[in-house]
Structure 1
Amino acid sequence: MTIYSIMPMELVFEGIHQERGPYVSVQVGDVRLQLEAVSPGIGRIVRLLDGPLDAYLRPELTPGTMVAYGPTTP
Structure 2
Amino acid sequence: MTLYTIMSGEQIFEGMWKEQPPLLEMQIEGRLLQIMPVNERSGIIVRLINGSLYDYLDSAYAPGREISLNAVQS
Give the alignment's TM-score, normalised by structure 1: 0.78
CA distance in 1: counterparts of 2:67 and 2:4, whole angstroms: 35
Over 3 Å off, 4+ runs = 1-7, 71-74
Task: Tell me, yes or no, if the aligned pair for 1:47 and 1:63 is still in contact at 8 Å.
Answer: yes
- The sequence identity of aligned pairs, in percent, is 35
- Equivalent pairs counted in the alignment come to 74
The equivalent of 2:63 in structure 1 is: 63
The equivalent of 1:12 in structure 2 is: 12
Structure 1 unmatched runs, 5+: none
Name whichever structure is richer in strand by fraction: 1
CA distance in 1: counterparts of 2:51 and 2:14, whole angstroms: 33
Structure 2 unmatched runs, 5+: none
Q: Aligned Cα RMSD in Å? A: 2.3
Give the alignment's TM-score, normalised by structure 2: 0.78
The equivalent of 2:27 in structure 1 is: 27
The structure with more radius of gyration: 2
